[in-house]
Amino acid sequence: AQKITQTQPGMFVQEKEAVTLDCTYDTSDPSYGLFWYKQPSSGEMIFLIYQGSYDQQNATEGRYSLNFQKARKSANLVISASQLGDSAMYFCAMREASGAQKLVFGQGTRLTINP
Amino acid sequence: GAGVSQSPRYKVAKRGQDVALRCDPISGHVSLFWYQQALGQGPEFLTYFQNEAQLDKSGLPSDRFFAERPEGSVSTLKIQRTQQEDSAVYLCASSLGSSGTDTQYFGPGTRLTVL
């Protein structure tokens, strides 16, 4: 069964520093997608970045990049030059290509950016 | 363009009452998902529609939960005889297609409180 693990319940970072949020996953499906979402206090889940299991290069979207290490089954999110507005919950999620279409989420990491 | 919208944003129900939660997906999106998010947890899958067909309802916690999408656009999640453990945020998401790489875009959620 697919599973996502986020081991950092909370992280505190100084503004303008880079931050890495950890995510490990488990699946037996060779084809899958990995997603990161941001959930501010308003509650809406905001899509940040996607990585496919067969993608050769790490995904990047502006200040977000995904450090994908397939052999280790990890998909860490890196935020460069953090901003106060980055303070939020961050969720890693996975979707297997075969079978169910659902996203399976981790427990989340609460990121706080200090001025 | 318009994103996923949900109504109401907040709902308070007395135990035993029936509630109906509405989701308007992004126009043209084939797939629609419902998730339940308990306080401090990641979202958990409830059910999935492809157009009007409900293809997966494996996450519905009991037969008190019912979802429909009769015309392949708007969806309603109905909870009968609500109980306190039903208190959660109910998130709706839609995606353009039905492949494993399609990004799911979420609405703001409906926060249900059962007294």
Judge whether residue B99 has pLDDT over 80: no
- Which of chain A's residues have a Cβ under 8 Å away from the Cβ of B101? 33, 50, 52, 97
> How high is the pLDDT of residue B1?
57
Residue range B21-50: mean pLDDT, rounded:
96
Q: Cα A59 to the chain's mean position, in Å?
A: 11
A64 touches chain B (CB under 8 A): no
A95 touches chain B (CB under 8 A): yes
Residue range B79-99: mean pLDDT, rounded:
94
Q: Catalogue the long-range contacts made by A85-88 (C-beta closer than 8 Å, 24 or more residues apart).
A: A85/A113, A86/A19, A86/A38, A86/A111, A86/A113, A87/A40, A87/A111, A87/A112, A87/A113, A88/A38, A88/A39, A88/A40, A88/A41
Residue range A72-101: mean pLDDT, rounded:
92
- Confidence label for A47 from pLDDT (cuts 50, 70 and 90): very high
Residue of B101, B103, B106, B113 to mutate when probing chain A, most A C-beta within 10 A:
B101
